[in-house]
Amino acid sequence: MTAQNLKALFTPITIKGMEIKNRVVMAPLQLSLGFRSQRTKAFYLERASGGTGAITLAATAVDILASEEAWGKSGALDAFLKGLSSLVADIHTAGARVGIQLWHGFNFPAGLSGVEGELIAPSPTGDTRELKAAEIKVIVGKFATAAANAKGAGLDFVNIHGAHAYLLHRFFSPLDNQRSDKYVGSVEKRMTFALECLKAVRKAVGEDYPLFWRLSSEEGVVGGITLDNSIKLAKALEKAGIDVIDVSYGRFARQIMPSKKMPMGTYVSQAEAIKKAVNVPVIAVGRINSPQLAAEIVSQNKADLVALGRQLITDPYWVKKAQEGRFSDIVLCDSCNRNCVRSIPENRKRTGSEDLSLCKVNERAGREWLM
C-alpha cells in the first residue's frame, strides 16, 4: 500500500455541506442496543473515538420516529427524540458525523414492538395481504415525517433502507411485486414507490440535507433484482435528489453478512459498477477488513466511501490505527458470524446474562459500559 493510497482513505469528503473527515462509514448494525442507554452510548462513542468518519445508527422503523401512536402513550415520541439528540451530541463531541437508517418492514400499522398490525406486502403471499394504494401514501408520509424528526434531533443524514427484502426492496423486486397498478410492470414502474418516498423525504428535510439510499445491487436469486435493474434505480434516485448510494447485496442474512468463505471485498465490484453509472458518491461494503483493501477501493475510484460493520465491532479503533500506520495492531474480523448475528436481547434470552460480548474476539464489544 502506498502513502498516496492511504491518503485517499483519509481525505475528507463533503456531501451537501456535511464534511466527513475520512472515507470510513460505520454500517448500520441491528444489535438491538437501543438509542438511550449507557450501553448504547458507550458502544457508539468507542467507535467514534476510534476515528470513524461517520456512524450510521441501527435501522429504525419509520413508525418509531414518525408516530406517537406507535409508542402507545403520550409524550413517548418526544422523549425518544430527546434521548436520540443526546446520543447525537455525544457522538459529535467524539468527532464523528452520525445518521440513522430508516426502514419499513411488514406490519401495517406498525407498533413499537414491531408485531402489531396486519402483515402486508406489495402482493399477497401466504400470511401477508396486499398493501392498499391509500396505505402506500400513508407509509410515504411516515418516511417523510421520520426523516424530518431525525433532522430535528440533530442527525447529520438519513439513510433510507431500500435493500435486504424490506418493504421498499420488495416493491422493486419482481419476485415480490405482482400488483396490477402503477407500482408494477417495467423496472421503471417497480421503482415508483421508492421514488415517491424519496421525493416526500426530500421535501420534508429540504434541499440541503444529506440523504443516503441503501440498495441491494442484486438479489442473488433466480428471477430477482439484477445489477442492471439496480443501475437504472440508482440513476433514477440520483435524478430525484439522492446524495449517496450505499451499495449492499442480497435479501438473505447469509448474503448480507458474507462468511469467511467469501473473498475480501465481496461486493465491491457491485459498488464499482454502480459508481460508473452515477455522479453522486457511492459506498462499498462487504468484508472490507484491511486498511490496504479500503485504501485501494477509494484510491482506485471503485467507491467514494467504505462501510465497515463487523470489523468495527471487532476493532473500534481500526480507523485510528490505520491512519497512524499501526497496521499490525489492528484486530481483524474473521467473519465468523457468531456472537454478532445475535442481538443483545437474543443473547440475554439465550444465556440469561447481561454481561455478554457481541464478538468472540473483542470481549468489550457491547460491554464497553461495564469495562
Residues marked as catalytic: 166
Contact (Cβ atoms closer than 8 angstroms) between residue 311 and residue 288 = yes
Cell of residue 337, nine digits: 458470524
Q: What is the SS3 assignment for 298?
A: helix
The alpha carbon torsion through 257, 260, 262, 266 (nearest 10 deg) reads 50
Cα–Cα distance, 334 to 360 (Å, whole number): 10
Please choose, from the candidates 18, 112, 103, the residue with its C-alpha nearest in 3D space to the C-alpha of residue 57: 103
Task: In whole angstroms, give the CA distance from residue 199 to residue 193.
Answer: 10
DSSP 125: B
Q: Are 304 and 275 in contact (CB under 8 A)?
A: yes
Q: Are strands 118-121 and 107-108 parallel, antiparallel or unpaired?
A: antiparallel
Closest by alpha carbon to 213, among 239, 189, 184?
Answer: 239
